[in-house]
Amino acid sequence: MERSEIEAKMKELLVEELGLDEDKIANDSRFEEDLEVDSLGVVELLMALEDNFGVQIPDEEAEQLTTVGEAVDLVQKKLDG
Amino acid sequence: MHDRRVVVTGLGAITSLGNGVEPLWENLLAGKSGISHIERIDVSDIPVKIAAEIKDFDIEQYMSRREARRLDRSSQYFWVATQQALADAGIHYEEDDPAALRAGVLAGTGIGGVETFEEQLNVLVERGPRRMSPTGIAMIISNMAGGVASIDFHLYGPNSTVVTACAASANAIGDAAEVIRRGAADVMVAGGGEASITRFAVGGFSQARALSTNNEDPQGASRPFDLNRDGFVMGEGAAVLILEDYEHAVNRGARIYGEVIGYGMSADGYHITLPRPGGAGAARAMSAALADAGMTPGDLDYINAHGTSTPANDTTETSAIKIAMGDDAYRVPISSSKSMTGHLLGAAGAIESLVCLLAMRDGKIPPTINYETPDPECDLDYVPNTARDVTVRTAMTNSFGFGGHNVSLVFGAVDS
C-alpha cells in the first residue's frame, strides 16, 4: 500500500472512528496535545488500525506513538514487514 | 417543617411528547399520546411493538460527535434535560466559579446504559473481548449521566445516583432535597434519564409479561385504571429539576415553581416485580410524605399517580390511596400522565414531579386518557380524558419500583 493511501485512510479513521475534526489532522499532529486523544482514544485508534489495515499492533508499540505520522510509519512497517 | 426550605427553580424535559417542558405540558393538557410503533429496533420477533419512542433526537445539535460517541443514549437525554433546566433556572457556572462547589447532581435511572451494554455484549460474543470499546464500561454504568453532567456543566458538589427501578428519579429528587436541607449544597440538579427501548430491555420486560400488547392501537394502549388495561407501555427520555435553597433562590431573584415539602419511602418487602396486594407498602410511603410535609390528607389537592396501566399496579395503588387518604381518597383528583408519556421507568418520577409543579403553576390537572370502562376495583376520580381547571396548592406524586421500592413526594406552592 502506498504511503499516501495509508495517510488518507488514517485520516478517515481518525474522523470516523474517533470523531476528530478533519481540519486539525496533519502529519505532525500530536495525539495527546494537539488532538486531545486520551488513553481510551488510543485504544480506539489501535482497534481501528488493526481492523482496517489487517495488522497486529501490540500495546507496547501503540504506546510509543506520539504523532499521526508515526502511526502511518508503524502501519507501513507492519504492512511491508 | 424543615429549617432550610428547598424550592424548584428550573425544569427540563425531553420525551416522546416533545423536546422541552412546554411542548410536553401542552400535549399533556391536550390529552395527546406520545405512543407509537417502535421504529429504532427490530421488534419482528418480540410480541410488543409499541413504545413512547423519541423519533427525532439529534444529539449532535448539543455536542460534538466525538463527545456524543462516549455517552449512552440515556445519559444524552439526561444531558439535554439538564441543560434546559439550568438555563430555565438562569444558572450557569464557569469552571472556576466558587459557587460551583456548592452545586451538585442527584440522578436516577432504572437500567442505565442498556443500549451500550447490548451493543458491547454483541461485540464480545461475535468478535471477542479485544474488539470491545474502551469506553463501553464508562457508558454502561448507571452513574455516568450524573458524572458527565458534573464535568460539562461544572457542578462540583455532592454527586450521586439512585438506582431503584421505576422509583429512581423520585428518590433522586427527595435525596437531593435532603442534601440541600442538611446544608451540603445550595443547588442540586435532580432527575433521571432512561433509554431502554432496546431489544434487550423490550424483550426482557415483555417476558416479564409487564407490557401492553395492544399493538393495533398504540395511542390507546396505556389506559391506567381502565378495566381493559393490559400492561404498561415503555417510554424514554429524561426530566430534570433544579432544586435550590429557598434563601439562595430569593437572594438571586429566581422564579420559584414550588417547594419540595414532603418525601416518604417504604419497601413492600413482598415480591421482585409485583406490588404487595392491598397496597399497604405504597400507603406507608404516601403517609410518610404527608407527615414529612406536616399535612393531613385533607390538605392535598392533587395526586399524580404511578398509574402504570398494569392490572396489578392500578388496583393496588387505588387501595393504597384509600389507606393513606381515608375519605379524602374520593375527593382528591388523581391522574396518570403515563397514559400519554408511557412509562419512563427511572425517569418517570422526575417527569411526574414536573407535572405536579406545572399543575400548581397553571391551575390545570392533565387527564388520564383512554379511560373508557370503569374498573369496579378502581373507583376514584382519575380526571378522565379531559384536563381540569382547579387550583392546586399541594400535589403528591407516587413512584413504585421493581424490588418493592415505594416513593412519594409532596410539592407545595410558594407565595411570591
Q: Which of the residues B60, B64, B66, B123 would you substitute to probe the A interface, choosing the one with the greatest number of A C-beta atoms within 10 Å? A: B66
Domain total for chain B? 2
- Tell me the C-alpha to C-alpha distance, in Å, between residue B83 and each of B79, B148, B336: 6, 12, 27
Q: Is residue B267 part of a domain?
A: yes
Cell numbers given for B164: 431503584
Name every residue in A having a CB less than 8 A away from some CB of B. 18-21, 39-41, 43-44, 47, 51
Decide if pLDDT at A1 tops 90. Answer: no
CATH number at residue A51: 1.10.1200.10
Q: Is residue B1 part of a domain?
A: no
Domain total for chain A? 1
B135 touches chain A (CB under 8 A): yes
Q: Which domain holds residue B381?
A: 260-412
Q: Which of B211, B230, B251 is the last residue of a domain?
A: B251
A9-42 confidence digits (pLDDT tens): 999 999 998 989 999 999 999 999 999 999 899 8
In terms of domains, do B131 and B181 share one?
yes
Contact (Cβ atoms closer than 8 angstroms) between residue B323 and residue B17: no
Q: What residues of chain B lie within 8 A of the CB of A47, using their CB?
A: 130-131
The predicted pLDDT at position B408 comes to 98
CA atoms within 13 A of residue B344's CA, in its CB half-sphere: 35
Contact (Cβ atoms closer than 8 angstroms) between residue B288 and residue B396: no
Nearest chain A residue to B69 by CA distance is: A19
B202-222 confidence digits (pLDDT tens): 999 999 999 999 999 999 999
Q: Return d(Cα B144, Cα B141) in angstroms, integer.
A: 6
Is-catalytic flag, A38?
yes
CATH number at residue B279: 3.40.47.10
Please identify every stretch of chain B with a pLDDT value under 50, giving residue numbers as ranges: none
In terms of domains, do B162 and B42 share one?
yes
Contact (Cβ atoms closer than 8 angstroms) between residue B353 and residue B106: no
The predicted pLDDT at position B2 comes to 64
In terms of domains, do B246 and B367 share one?
no
Sign of CA dihedral B342, B343, B344, B348: positive
In terms of domains, do B206 and B314 share one?
no
Q: Which amino acid, B111?
A: I
The predicted pLDDT at position B135 comes to 97
In terms of domains, do B246 and B275 share one?
no
Is-catalytic flag, B306?
yes
DSSP character at residue B275: P
ipTM field:
0.89
CB contact under 8 Å between B134 and A43, yes or no, is yes
Chain B residues 52-111 within an 8 A CB cutoff of chain A: 64-70
Q: Which of B251, B286, B303 is the last residue of a domain?
A: B251
In terms of domains, do B347 and B293 share one?
yes
What's the mean pLDDT in A1-7? 92
User: What are the φ/ψ torsions at residue B150 (nearest 5 degrees)?
Assistant: -65, -35
Q: Return d(Cα B376, Cα B371) in angstroms, integer.
A: 13
B221-254 confidence digits (pLDDT tens): 999 999 999 999 999 999 999 999 999 999 999 9
The predicted pLDDT at position B1 comes to 53
CB contact under 8 Å between B66 and A18, yes or no, is yes
CB contact under 8 Å between A19 and B64, yes or no, is yes
In terms of domains, do B285 and B353 share one?
yes
B128 touches chain A (CB under 8 A): no
Calculate how close chain A gets to B63, using CA atoms only, in Å: 11
Q: What residues of chain A lie within 8 A of the CB of B70, using their CB?
A: 40
Q: What residues of chain B lie within 8 A of the CB of A39, using their CB?
A: 134
Decide if pLDDT at A74 tops 70. Answer: yes
In terms of domains, do B243 and B281 share one?
no
CB contact under 8 Å between B135 and A40, yes or no, is yes
CA atoms within 13 A of residue B99's CA, in its CB half-sphere: 12
CB contact under 8 Å between B134 and A40, yes or no, is yes
B20-39 confidence digits (pLDDT tens): 999 999 999 999 999 999 99
The predicted pLDDT at position A63 comes to 85
Q: Which of B216, B251, B286 is the last residue of a domain?
A: B251
Q: Which domain holds residue A17?
A: 3-80
